[in-house]
Amino acid sequence: MVDIELVRRALAEDLAGGQDITSVATVDGDEKVVAEFVARQEGVLAGVEMAVATLTECGLSDITVMKKDGDHVSPGASIIVVRGDTRAILLAERTALNFLGHLSGIASLTNLWVRAIEGTKCKIRDTRKTTPGMRVLEKAAVVSGGGTNHRMSLSDAALIKDNHIAAAGGVIAAFAKVRTAFPTAAIEIEVDTLDQLREVSAENPDLVLLDNMTPLQCAEAVAFVDERFKLEASGGISLAHAREYAESGVDYLAIGALTHSAPVLDIGLDLKVE
């Protein structure tokens, strides 16, 4: 996946209307080099196409892609090899690495969660806690890591949360207002207690979000719902307890940390003059 306008904005931000004064001073401009993007640690890749788009936008064309999004890499793995003008490669370097490291970090963290609940029916799902302007890319990185996407935007589906419930005057009132205004929209509703779950179940929601419940409460909710609609656990779930939640029988774990707290995957650029 490529957002070429984001690539252009990132490069323009790096130059700030000027030029790369270090490269202009130290590089004659006619050197040809080979540069290799190399994994420094184990992880799962995402953002490879964004890195390639950055290189291309800087005028480079001799690019060999060794690994793709979703590939597992070990330290020392070659990801992209590029040959060409030294100044162009140095201009592209940081922007390409920023995209590649950030998105691969999301894919790698997602994959840790996916592997933690392997063997259950539960799926790891992201949220809208994304970097402004990078939602599509970050959600694609979640998929590369083996996770699934929640709604992309507020218009995709209804998600009735505690503030909507408070504003509308209660769980049932909020649900009824959404159903009346948007009769064909999928509706997910957040509940804080099992009593609220029982109350809203008669309305036939598409999905109910169990907010800040324990694994035991989630299991009680699963037994009560008996597959009439989907259930998602969210809030305060740690990686260490992910499997316990997944084994409760819920369909999804909603994990905001996938996109708002993923550490960058360490990837470097090794450059050699040919």
Would you call 129 a catalytic residue per the annotation? yes
Residues 86 and 206 in one domain: no
Residues 176 and 198 in one domain: yes
Single-letter residue type at 117? I
CA dihedral over 254, 255, 259, 265, signed as positive or negative: negative
**Cross-strand bridge partners of residue 62:** 83
Per annotation, catalytic residue among 190, 232, 243, 251? 190
Distance between CA 226 and CA 224 in Å, rounded? 6
pLDDT value of position 31? 78
Closest CA to 27 of 93, 85, 82: 85
Residue pair 87/55 in contact (Cβ under 8 Å)? The answer is no
pLDDT value of position 183? 93
Residues 256 and 121 in one domain: yes
Residues spanned by the domain of 60: 4-114+262-273
Would you call 121 a catalytic residue per the annotation? no
Which stretches of the chain score pLDDT less than 70? 274
Per annotation, catalytic residue among 94, 115, 151, 230? 94
Residues 146 and 234 in one domain: yes
The size of the chain, in residues, is 274
pLDDT tens digits, one per residue of 103-117: 999 999 999 999 999
Residue pair 77/22 in contact (Cβ under 8 Å)? The answer is no
How many domains are contained in the chain?
2
Residues 72 and 102 in one domain: yes
Which two three-digit tokens encode residue 142?
A: 């979640």
CA dihedral over 8, 10, 12, 18, signed as positive or negative: negative
Burial class (CB in 10 A: 0-12, 13-18, 19+), 204: exposed
- Average pLDDT along the chain: 95
pTM to 2 decimal places: 0.95
Residues 126 and 82 in one domain: no
Residues 119 and 253 in one domain: yes
pLDDT value of position 196? 92
pLDDT tens digits, one per residue of 22-56: 988 888 877 789 999 999 999 999 999 999 999 99
pLDDT value of position 274? 66
Per annotation, catalytic residue among 69, 211, 232, 251? 211
Q: In what order do the strands lie in the sheet containing 123-125?
A: 123-125, 252-254, 230-234, 207-211, 187-191, 158-160
Which two three-digit tokens encode residue 244?
A: 């316990």
Residues 103 and 123 in one domain: no
Would you call 9 a catalytic residue per the annotation? no
CA angle 79, 262, 257 (to 5 degrees): 145
Tell me the three state secondary structure of residue 152: coil
Residues 241 and 124 in one domain: yes
pLDDT value of position 32? 83
pLDDT tens digits, one per residue of 202-228: 999 999 999 999 999 999 999 999 999
Tell me the CATH number at 46.
3.90.1170.20
Residues 106 and 185 in one domain: no
Residues 147 and 203 in one domain: yes
Residues 152 and 253 in one domain: yes
pLDDT value of position 28? 83
Q: How far from 260 is each of 41, 85, 140, 270, CA to CA, in Å?
A: 21, 36, 14, 29
Tell me the CATH number at 191.
3.20.20.70
Residue pair 105/131 in contact (Cβ under 8 Å)? The answer is no
Per annotation, catalytic residue among 9, 68, 161, 198? 161
Per annotation, catalytic residue among 67, 123, 129, 135? 129
Closest CA to 106 of 75, 135, 68, 145: 145
Distance between CA 263 and CA 108 in Å, rounded? 9
Going by their DSSP bridges, the two strands 32-39 and 267-273 should be labelled as antiparallel
